[in-house]
Amino acid sequence: MTAYEVNFDGLIGPNHNYSGLAFGNLASSRNARNTSSPRQAALQGLEKMRTLHHLGYRQGFLLPQLRPDVATLRRLGFSGGDRSIINKAARQAPQLLSMIYSASSMWAANAATVTPSADSADGRLHFTPANLVTTSHRAIEHPQTQRCLETVFADPDKFAVHQALPSQNRFADEGAANHTRLSAGYGERGVGLFVYGRDNRTNLSSLHFPARQTLEASEAVARQHGISERAVFLQQSAEAINAGAFHNDVVAVGNGTVLFFHEQAFEAQSQADAFADLSERLPLQPVCVPRDQVSLEDAISSYLFNSQLLADADGNLERMRLIAPTECRDNPAVNAYLAQLAEDNSQPIGDVEFVDVRQSMSNGGGPACLRLRVVLTEEELAAVNPAFMLDDTRIDQLQAWVNDYYRDELDPSELKDPDFLNECYTAYDALTQVLGIGSYYDFQHA
């Protein structure tokens, strides 16, 4: 059956800011309290979507989540009207404002884990929103993620949108950033490669930063999607986590039968076992980047592995391209490696495109973080809510909307201003009008 990989990018919200909320994510810590540009961030994200559209790929997007999340402040004991709650929080617990104001839902690779219908037990396409329990600003995302996925993928005969796993440390789940679907062709039965940071035997004292994905979470998702028999589990190395690989997609990316990864990405024994298992199921093509060509530090600062690894626009997996962040071009070792890779005919990656997503990168989110990959058959594609598929006209409309409603600069101290709440709500209201999706956000029902 013909099937396509469609990327759904997170549309970046007017509240994009640098609050240093993600311990273990080096860029987030480095840029804490810096002034952001929500407008540049959103325009950069939309230009990346345009680049893919112009290259011939189908491109969709997911809605920004409603922020500030005043409902969470109510659950934390604040009462009154929305503006009054912001004022009280600004006085009594200003640190909570950065939590409920984060634009982190932009990193759609953490929205959910996705299993295509060719692989699942019931022939539907499955989504499990990630509980993101490791960080408090992201743990509040999953209810709105679920709602957004149910809006975009609304047909329950074709799409199954599950609830997030229980919000417990034991089931910590960060979604597709730690999952790669490998297959010989998009429409063919494939394998789910789940990469986790810890299980119940992991020596936690060896980790300086949190391991955000657990084996038990990955196993539960595989069970939900009916792919336990078609799942392979692989452990990230402590070395990679300690160097700042807070998700596997910072040190590895796969597509088709290709797994492109850093030499130090995985625990050695786990890698040997998983690769042997994968090789029995499909003609695995590992492309390992040696540490003496690209150090782990360079891989993480340039986000080489957070490139999007794409088949060509016809879905031909013999000819792949990387959509890499410009930071890779700026890093001499990475740039030299990529030039060599593109010339190396023993593997299918023959082309590299660079995209500027610096605003997102400064919070630790590269091109691949910004998108959720969904493999869709023709029939499933026809069932996707068309308001969320992009062409030039729609991208132009969204860019005009960003130019009209977004600030050019946002300092984290400005989150205390209740007028900024109104500014955000006005922007979301206008967005639903541009898209023609009616009242979507909670405040529109009030």
Q: Which residue has the tokens 């009280």?
A: 88
Among 41, 109, 296, 415, binds ligand SUG (CB under 6 A): 109
CB of 138 to ligand SUG, least distance (A): 6
Q: Of the listed pieces 13-21, 259-267, 285-293, 420-428, which binds ligand SUG according to CB under 6 A? A: 13-21
369 touches ligand SUG (CB under 6 A): yes
* Binding mask of the shown chain, residues 385 to 424, with x at each position contacting ligand SUG by CB under 6 A: ----------------------------------------
The active-site residue out of 16, 137, 179, 247 is 247
183 touches ligand SUG (CB under 6 A): no
9 touches ligand SUG (CB under 6 A): no
247 touches ligand SUG (CB under 6 A): yes
- CA 317 from centroid of its chain's CA atoms: 22
Of the candidates 187, 177, 184, the one whose C-alpha atom is nearest the C-alpha of residue 123 is 187
| Contacts to ligand SUG from residues 344-363, by CB under 6 A | 363
Kindly give the pairing relationship between strand 252-255 and strand 231-235.
unpaired
The active-site residue out of 174, 216, 263, 380 is 174
The answer to whether the CB of 157 falls within 8 A of the CB of 146 is no
| Contacts to ligand SUG from residues 27-46, by CB under 6 A | 28
Among 50, 124, 126, 138, binds ligand SUG (CB under 6 A): 138
Q: Can you tell me the distance from the alpha carbon of 142 to that of 167, in angstroms, rounded to the nearest whole number?
A: 10
Our answer to whether residue 219 is catalytic in this structure is no
CB of 27 to ligand SUG, least distance (A): 8
Q: 81-89: long-range contacts (C-beta < 8 A, 24 or more apart)? A: 82/418, 82/421, 82/443, 83/418, 83/421, 83/422, 84/418, 86/416, 86/417, 86/418, 86/421, 87/418
365 touches ligand SUG (CB under 6 A): yes
Our answer to whether residue 174 is catalytic in this structure is yes
Widest CA span of the chain, in angstroms?
A: 64
Residue with smaller CB distance to ligand SUG, 50 or 138: 138
Of the candidates 116, 10, 107, the one whose C-alpha atom is nearest the C-alpha of residue 388 is 10
389 burial class (0-12, 13-18, 19+ CB within 10 angstroms)? middle
φ, ψ for residue 316 (rounded to 5)?
A: -75, 115
Residues annotated as part of the active site? 174, 247, 369
Q: Which residues bind ligand SUG (CB under 6 A)?
A: 18-22, 25, 28, 102, 104, 107, 109-110, 138, 177, 246-247, 249-250, 363-365, 369
